[in-house]
Amino acid sequence: MTDVIKRRVRLPTAHLRPALPIVGAACVVLALWLAWSGWQQLQDASQGQALRASRDLAVSGTQHALQQQTERLRDKLASAPVQLALAAGDLDTAATRIQASWPHVESVAVLPADLEAAYASLPRDGFGRLAVAESALVAKAPVARIGKDGAPKLLLAAPAKAGDRLVGVAYVRLPLGLATDAIQAANIEGGSYLALREGNYTVLERGNARLSDAAEAMAVKVPGSDLRVAASLPDPTQAAFGLGAMAAFVAAAVLLGVGILSLLAFRRGYGLGEGTHTHASDGEPTLAQTMQQVPAAARPLPVREPVVETKAVTVKIDRGIFRAYDIRGIVGQTLDASVAELIGHAVGTLMFEKGLNDIVVGRDGRLSGPDLVAGLIEGLRKAGRNVIDIGLAPTPVVYFGGFHLRTGCGIAVTGSHNPPDYNGFKIVVGGDTLFGDAITDLYARIAEDRLHTAGTPGGLSQRDIGGDYVARITADVQIDRRLKIVVDAGNGVAGALGPRVLEAIGAEVTPLYCDIDGTFPNHHPDPSEPQNLQDLVQMVQRLDADLGIAFDGDGDRLGVVTRDGETIYPDRLLMLFAADVLERNPGAVIVYDVKCTGRLPGQILRFGGSPLMWKTGHSLIKAKMRETEAELAGEMSGHFFFAERWYGFDDGIYAAARLLEILAARPETPTEQLNALPNGVSTPELKVDAPDGDPHAFVERFRAAAKFVGGRSSNIDGLRVDWPDGWGLVRASNTTPVLVMRFDADTQAALLRIQAAFREQLLAVKPDLELPF
């Protein structure tokens, strides 16, 4: 009986013995993989530390080089020979004495303080000299920047004073190498990337240029200048099972031990019971022999799972939700999770055709968001695409994720500023925001069943990049003095990150309606409508705050009110942004939409820029910016697009940070600065229900029939007519079935005259059209 018991205990080990070498080998291989993963992670960490050290050395080296040259200019201007020449008004002699015994200097001039001659010489003498001179006058101190005086050069400028009297502006041109030596000397390892940048211009780059788009995430500003050193690392090693380096090493050691023990056990014959010989006298069959003796008929048949037949479900999809520059519909009527899945499948198919694998998905705070995101992700994964779900996030954070996570693709599930029962999709594929034919092509793919289904579904991961977004902005923007700000997010998704960003750059922030609530219980999240800003105006005045900031439902638009209760329309804000950007980028193209004031292009020209009017629509504006390499763009709706120091997408939160940076840099109050912007008499956007619900058809009829005497007509988007003292516009909305109108003039009398002319022509086309003027 004892022998029988022994056999029963040992039989399983004998049965398992053939698996020992397989288990041992698998453990050894897995241990080697984990060890390699841990080693690679240590290498990545070491490479990251080395790159950050190189970047910081480049920043300090560049700062020292610029400081050395600006201090030399300051000393030269203070020297007795130069002071004597300035006091006598002899600017040429002063320039000659500044240049004397200055190593490497290429050119020196002292320009008259009014800079009229410098402006008169444009564009022959270039914008670089004028830009650095204007910067020095604003700063009231020596400044250094990179500019093109023929070829790229290091340009210096400083106010030239005789005692306390401003006589002119000293201008010095030096070789570019003085500013780039520190970058040239930096140690770049392992395919990483380092670059010296100013605005949107890369002065010098080293390393793997394919990493340039992601380099701003590690950028550090060179103190005392507009330069920054940007850096980027190759994609890090994917951690095995999510284990860190040390945990991977420990797991590898354990698995290696298990593997070696398994192989040793096999070699020593472990698991054969009473040795390797079978004694006939034992009499009793082994378990294997017993199993062989069981008649085949008695063996249990394998259980088969019942086959369940599935039927394809037909999903109705409304072509009307595919708009000019996004997809938008009413939840429960034209939009639900099944429609979202088809849209995701279509976008995933487009990505497959372009060889793009990864995409960022985020959503605003609307109640329908989670279900639509779930459907969208299902469709994307069905096409084999890997989805990075960043959860609740403003639309610009989704755009940021495409750059930061190097996907080039993103979808924001958002209804923007529309009512709570609306929702939609803003889509970026391969760095391009889809609009027009690219949007309607998605519908065609669905309707014609031209959808790619992968053999294996794509992956899904969750990632919170809110902290990365805040860190990226604060690395670029810090305000010079503390401003007291009230932020009204209208219960939209910007309520979490908007105040956080502005506090991080140095503002004192009081939140108003910043709790995310997809029902928008306090007011509609649309800062372009004055009635939605009334609570913000009252809070700013009650707290005696410097400024009121408002965001729309998904955070890509900005509204501003002053302490005295005035709404600063976005076209006037664009004047302020343009003046700032053109200081560093003279001659740059500034794009604005057809709804902006006629005073804007004159302001852009005054500051040395190239104004360009274009169609309304965030996707259309972004496409025009890329085409023209514009540094800045803006729309009357409150979308602002910064290519200088940012990524070129519309971002209300980043625009608010840049606004505070500008306002805090000057001694006047924000209200004084904003009220000083050129202004006239204008209306907000006036929205009129379109006849028969078709605004495009009506605008076509109006454009064909209308006759305006003495005005210059533009058909870029709708019909805009400009007179010397004002203008009027009628265009079709691409998001709702309404006509959008706006009027702007130098005086109230001119405004009324222009409105009367438009009223006459509109009623001639549709006599019963109800107009608000």
Q: Which residue is catalytic, options 37, 54, 368, 416?
A: 416
What is the layout of strands, in order, in the sheet containing 547-551? Answer: 508-512, 484-488, 547-551, 558-562
> Torsions phi, psi of 434, nearest 5?
-70, 135
How many alpha carbons lie under 13 Å from residue 702 in its C-beta half-sphere?
30
Q: Are 407 and 389 in contact (CB under 8 A)?
A: no
CA–CA separation, 393 vs 465, rounded Å? Answer: 9
Instruction: Tell how far CA 630 is from the center of its chain.
Output: 16
CA–CA separation, 63 vs 178, rounded Å? Answer: 11
DSSP string, 63-100: HHHHHHHHHHHHHHHHSHHHHHHHHTT-HHHHHHHHHT
**Runs of H (alpha helix) within 171-315:** 177-185, 245-267, 287-293
CA distances (Å), origin 529, targets 170, 300, 576, 638, 684? 48, 75, 21, 11, 8
Using a 10 angstrom Cβ sphere, with 0-12 exposed, 13-18 middle and 19 or more buried, the burial of residue 333 is exposed
CA–CA separation, 376 vs 345, rounded Å? Answer: 8
Q: Which of 563, 225, 228, 223 is nearest to 215 (CA)?
A: 228
**Runs of H (alpha helix) within 478-614:** 494-504, 534-543, 570-584, 599-606
> For residue 355, what is the DSSP state?
T
CA–CA separation, 354 vs 228, rounded Å? Answer: 33
Identify whether 135 is a catalytic site residue. Answer: no
Q: Are 469 and 519 in contact (CB under 8 A)?
A: no
> Torsions phi, psi of 284, nearest 5?
-85, 135
Structure tokens at 715: 């058909």
Q: Provide the 3-class DSSP secondary structure of residue 266.
A: helix
Residues sharing a CB contact under 8 Å with residue 2, sequence separation 6 or more, in sequence order: none
CA–CA separation, 65 vs 74, rounded Å? Answer: 14
**Kind and range of the H or E element at 471?**
helix 466-476
Q: Are 480 and 664 in contact (CB under 8 A)?
A: yes
> For residue 307, what is the DSSP state?
P
> For residue 650, what is the DSSP state?
B
CA distances (Å), origin 674, targets 415, 494, 567, 651? 31, 24, 10, 20
Q: Provide the 3-class DSSP secondary structure of residue 602.
A: helix
> Torsions phi, psi of 241, nearest 5?
55, 20
Structure tokens at 346: 């279509």
Residues sharing a CB contact under 8 Å with residue 752, sequence separation 6 or more, in sequence order: none
Q: Are 140 and 159 in contact (CB under 8 A)?
A: yes
Long-range contacts, stretch 202-206, CB < 8 angstroms, 24+ apart: 203/146, 203/152, 203/176, 203/179, 203/227, 204/180
Q: Are 622 and 581 in contact (CB under 8 A)?
A: no
What is the layout of strands, in order, in the sheet containing 640-642? Answer: 610-614, 589-593, 632-634, 640-642
Using a 10 angstrom Cβ sphere, with 0-12 exposed, 13-18 middle and 19 or more buried, the burial of residue 604 is buried
Enzyme catalytic residues = 416
